[in-house]
Every structure is written in C-alpha cells, then in structure tokens.
Amino acid sequence: MNRVELKPEAAKFIRRRAYTLYSKWIEERFDIPQGSFVEFSLDGEVVARGFYERIGAIGGRILAYVSEHDSNDLEEIILWRLEGAWKLRMAGGERKEEGFRLLYADSDGTPGLIVDIFGGTAVVQSSSYGWDRSSEMLAEKMVKLGISERVFLKNDQRGRKSFGLPIERRFLVGGPPPEEMIEENGFRILVNFGEGQKSGYYLDQKEARKRIYRMDLSGIKALDLFSYTGSFSLSALGAGASYSLLVDEDERALAIASRNMELNGFEGKFGLIRGRVEKVLDWLKAKRRKFDFIIADPPAMIPNPRAKEKGMKAYEKLFQNAISVLEPGGFLYASSCSYPLGEKELLRILRMAASERGYTMRVLFHLSPYNAIPYVRAQDEELLYLKGFLIKLE
C-alpha cells in the first residue's frame, strides 16, 4: 500500500480531525495515480487512510483516521462509513419517502462525496478521483445495507470539467425511469434526478417549506421566484393561498412544477412564467401586479470571496425589486446559498431593502445553516452555506 507523507504544518489539522487535506500540506508523489487508496503518515507514523487526489488545491481526502477505525481495507471503511451515517439518520427520524441527505462530504467522513436518498433511489455526486474509482463499490454496499434499491450517479457539476473529471449521468444499480416520488408536508412531489439541478431536489429548504405550510395564508396571492419544481408554491397553496405565480428560467423545471401542482389538486391555482427573474420583476412592476407573499430563493450570487462586493449588490437589487411588488403588510421569504455571505449580512441587506421602500420588518422564522443541513460537524464550517429569513413588512 502506497504511503504519502504529510508536512509538519498539517499537524494542527490532523489534531482537529480534518478530512480534506490541501496540497500544500502533502509531499507530492507523482508516481502514485490520482484517486489511489493510500496511507497518510506524519513524522513517519501512519495516522489515516484515504484517497491521494492531487486535484486542484486538494491533495488528499481522509476516509478514516487510525484512531477512529484502523483498517487498510477500502471496502470495509466504506461499509463502516455508510453504516454510521445510516444509523445516525434513522436515529434523527429521517424517512426515505420524504428524502434526506445520507452523506455530506467531510461531515460524514466522505470528503468529495454527497449522497441524497429519494424513496428507493440513492443519488451520488462526486468531486473526487477516488470516489469516482470507488462508485461501483459504494453503490453495491448501499444496496446490500438496504439503504436503497437503485443508485444513480449524477456527476454533472460544473467544477468537474475544470479538474479533468468526466461528466456522467447513469445508473450504477437498477435502471430507468430517472425519477422518484417523495412526500413532503403531505404533498406528492416528483423528483427528476436525471435532468434536475444538483441531485434533483433542494432538501436543504425543507424546514423553511414546513414553516410556510404551517402559516395561515388564506386567500393570498404568492410569487415564487426561482421556483424550480414548485415545492415552495405547494407549501403556500397548502397553507391556503388562492394563487401562486412560479418564475424560473428552466423550462424542464417548470414542466415538473406543473405536474407537481396537478398531482396535488391545485389545477387553476397557479401560473408559470419562463424567464429571467430580474426581467419578470420589471414586467410585473410595469403591470402594477402585487402579491401578498413572495419567495426569493436565488442561486448563489457570490460564488467566491472575490465576488462578494458585486454579489451583495445583486442581492440588494433582487430583494428591493421583490419588495416593490409586495403588498403593504406582506410576507417575504428570502434566502442565500452563498457561503461568503453571513447570516447577519443577509439580514442587514433585507433590512436595507425594506427601509428603501419605507418598511420596517419583523422576523418570523430563521433558517440557519445548521437546520438547513442537519448532522454537520461543528468544525466543518465551510459546509454551512444556506441561510434564510421569513419576514413580515410593516
């Protein structure tokens, strides 16, 4: 088994049990193929085992420290990680039919890997040479443990191309159709993991949708910006809204949204607009259309710290324009999945946008990064990206 030596500066990260190792902490070994399962040693002593990556800034990914699971068998380590994550989710009350995240990168000791469960299907996303090479083994173990019946590999993230990793969408176990039906707040929701964004459904907004569903929105009109497949609109309509207008650029997502509305008996209570949210908001303002509840869940507008200033201005403009078509006394749910933007900064942007329109705001619900993605280790702060606020403007 190949061994890779860690540099002295890696010691403090090893002490806090970090699972992602940056290239600057590792002695380079060009004789070891990328994605190889190796031993990592510090001062000549083996401390962990995992994948030697040499992918961008990432040098390696630890799967198990010797102190937590001393095995040099990759298959055994993968089985151990899966069993641990599965038991934790079951103890936490997760249900397959509702959908949940089984493996979340470093937080579950599987850096470079995400696995979401939708009913009987596991959707796998990798950003790692090692996990790419081990995907068949991973799929086999999940089926063996009864975690899923089908396993779909959805390696289509933009970042893969820049690292020289192939774009792949295929079943590892089982076969078509590439979709599942899940339940949320009593609604039937179609998840198309074959063509949908990310793993096919945004599980991280589950608590926000639950909170909206519990509201009394009798008779109000909702505007669902960046609506994707319509899950927020389902919550609003289920809470009594008389109508919801869904806006998204993705024609396929809107087609699924329409099916989801009809599956749950909301024919005639929704409208669809395909287009850029910014232009649609301008059109709504020109038509003097007003709504009582607006959902604004945009894609990340700050992809990296260097883009923060520009991205903050984009968030400010979006929320100001959204508030401009909101009825006085209305509700706004606004969120950000930009990691560089903190919760307090998002709240300040919302406060400024409200003030610009002459409103003060009252916070009714706060979606924190910890309840957006549960089971995350406290030290894995870089995995905590999503935050949101449900506010009432007065």
318-368 pLDDT, tens digit per residue, is 999 999 999 999 999 999 999 999 999 999 999 999 999 999 999 999 999
Q: How confident is the model at residue 162 (pLDDT cuts 50, 70, 90)?
A: confident
Contacts of 370 (CB under 8 A, 6+ apart): 376, 384
Predicted TM-score of the model (pTM): 0.95
Mean pLDDT, to the nearest integer, of 110-127? 98
Instruction: State the span(s) of the chain assigned CATH 3.40.50.150.
Output: 202-393
Residues catalogued as catalytic: 337
Mean pLDDT, to the nearest integer, of 208-226? 98
Residue 283 pLDDT: 97
Mean pLDDT, to the nearest integer, of 33-40? 97
Instruction: State the span(s) of the chain assigned CATH 2.30.130.10.
Output: 3-65
Instruction: Among 2.30.40.10, 3.40.250.10, 2.60.120.10, 2.30.130.10, name the CATH number for the domain at 3-65.
Output: 2.30.130.10
Q: Report the CATH number of the 202-393 domain.
A: 3.40.50.150
- What does the block give as tokens for 350? 């919302």
Mean pLDDT, to the nearest integer, of 21-30? 94
Residue 158 pLDDT: 83
Q: How confident is the model at residue 164 (pLDDT cuts 50, 70, 90)?
A: confident
Cβ neighbour number for residue 180 with a 10 Å cutoff: 23
Residue 48 pLDDT: 98
Per cent of the chain over pLDDT 90 is: 97
Residue 59 pLDDT: 96
Instruction: Among 3.60.70.12, 3.30.413.10, 3.30.750.80, 3.30.70.2190, name the CATH number for the domain at 74-179.
Output: 3.30.750.80
- What does the block give as tokens for 93? 């009350």
Instruction: State the span(s) of the chain assigned CATH 3.30.750.80.
Output: 74-179
Instruction: Give yes or no for a contact between 46 and 3, defined as CB atoms under 8 angstroms apart.
Output: yes
Burial class of residue 154 in the structure, from the number of CB atoms within 10 Å of its CB (0-12 exposed, 13-18 middle, 19+ buried):
buried
Average pLDDT, the chain: 96
DSSP strand pairing (291-296 vs 326-336): parallel
